[in-house]
Amino acid sequence: MSSLLALGFDPSFFSDVWSFVDANADELQAGLRRTLLVSAIAIAGAFFIGLVLGAARAHRVPVVSQLAAVYVEVIRNTPILVQIFFLFYGLPQIGVRLEAFTVAWLAVMIWGGAFNTENFRAGFEAVPARLREAGFALGFGGISTFLNVTLPIGGRIALPSSINTYISVVKNTSLMYVISYPELTTTVLQVQALTLQTVEAFTVLAATYLIIVWTLSALIRFLESHLALPKAL
C-alpha cells in the first residue's frame, strides 16, 4: 500500500468507484443482467449446436457433415463484428428485420456454435475406436453407443475447450455496443457519457468482466482436475 501511495495512488479512489456504482446501481444492474441473459441463451444454444453438429462431423453423417463444415469455416473465417453488422444492418435491406435483442443472442450463439462444433468434433474423434467397438460388442446400436460411450467420454474431453468458447461468448456480447443493445458495455459507456466519471466507469467495466471471466476460468481448472479421464484409457 505504501508503495502504491508513493506512486501517487489516491486511496480515495476505491470510495469514488463505490459511489459511482452506488449512484448508478439500477442501470448497471440492468446492463449486467442483460449481458448474463444474452450469454446464457447463446451458451445454451451453442452447446446444442456443438453437440449435434460436432457428432455429425465426427461420424461423417452425409450432407449434414458437409453443411456443418461450411458453417464452421464461414463463421471462423469472418470477424464476428462484421457478422453482427450484417445481421443487424445488412439483412433489413432484403426484408429480414431482427430486434437488437435477437441479434445480440443470435450473433454470439451462431459464433459460439461454430467453435463448439469443432470442440465437440475433436472430443468425439478422440474417443478410442476400441471403446466404441466394445459398445457394439455389448449389443448397443449406433445411437446407444454414441449416447453411452462416445458422448460421456468425448464430452469430457471437449469440456475445457468448450468452456473456453463460452468465455469468449460472454466477452463478445460487449460488441453489441455497435447495435446499441444496452448490455454491460453499452450501459457503462452511456452512464460515463452522462456523468463524465471516465476512470470510475472503466474501472467498474473492466473489473466486472474480469470477475466473470476469471470465475469461468477457475471452473475450467476445477473440471479439468475432477473430470480427467483415467490414464488407462
Partner 1 sequence: MRRVKIGIVATVAAGTLLAVWGGVASAREADSTASLAAAQAKLPPLPADIRSRGRFNIAVKCDTPPFGYIGARSQNAGFDVEIARLFAKFAFGKPNRVTMSCVTTPAREPALTTGRVDLVIATFTYNTDRETRIDFSRAYYKATGRLLVKNGGSVQGLNDLAGKTIATTSGSVYDRWVKNCYKDTKLVITDGFTNALLAFRDGRADALMFDDTILLGIAVTDPTTKLTDDLFLQQPYGIGIQQGNVALKRWVDSRLNLMKKRDLFFPILKNTVPPKQVAPFSKNILRPKQTFAYNQGDITTVCS
Partner 2 sequence: MNLPDWVGDVARYMLEEGLVNTLRIAGISLAGAVLIGVTLGTLMTIRFLPLRGVIRLYIEFWRGLPILVTIFIIYFLLPAVSLSLRFEALTAAAIGLILWGSAQVAEATRGAVQSIPREQHEAASALGFGWVGRHAFVIMPQALRRLLPPLVSLLVNIIQNTTIAQVIGANELLESGERSVERLTAPPPIGLGEIHSFEIYAAVMAIFFVISFPLTRLAAYLEKRLI
Mask: binding to partner 2, 176-195, rule CB under 8 A, as x and -? Answer: -xx------x---x------
Q: Which does 73 bind (CB under 5 to 8 A by kind): partner 1, partner 2, none?
A: partner 2
Q: Which CB contacts under 8 angstroms, 24+ apart, belong to 192-200? A: 195/20, 195/23, 195/24, 197/16, 197/20, 199/13, 199/16, 200/16, 200/17, 200/20
Q: Which is nearer to partner 1, 97 or 231 (CB)?
A: 97
Site for partner 2 in 70-129 (CB under 8 A): 73-74, 76-83, 85-86, 89-94
Total residue length of the chain: 233
Distance CA 140, CA 125 (A): 19
198 lies in the site for partner 2, by CB under 8 A? yes
Q: Which is nearer to partner 1, 189 or 220 (CB)?
A: 189
Residue 199, φ and ψ in degrees, nearest 5: -65, -45
Task: Tell me the closest approach of the beta carbon of residue 179 to partner 1, in angstroms.
Answer: 7
Task: Tell me the closest approach of the beta carbon of residue 95 to partner 1, in angstroms.
Answer: 6
User: How many other CB atoms are there within 10 angstroms of residue 141's CB atom?
Assistant: 10
On whether the CB atoms of residues 112 and 43 are closer than 8 A, the answer is yes
Residues near partner 2 (CB under 8 A):
73-74, 76-83, 85-86, 89-94, 171-172, 174-175, 177-178, 185, 189, 198-199, 202, 205-206, 209-210, 213-214, 217
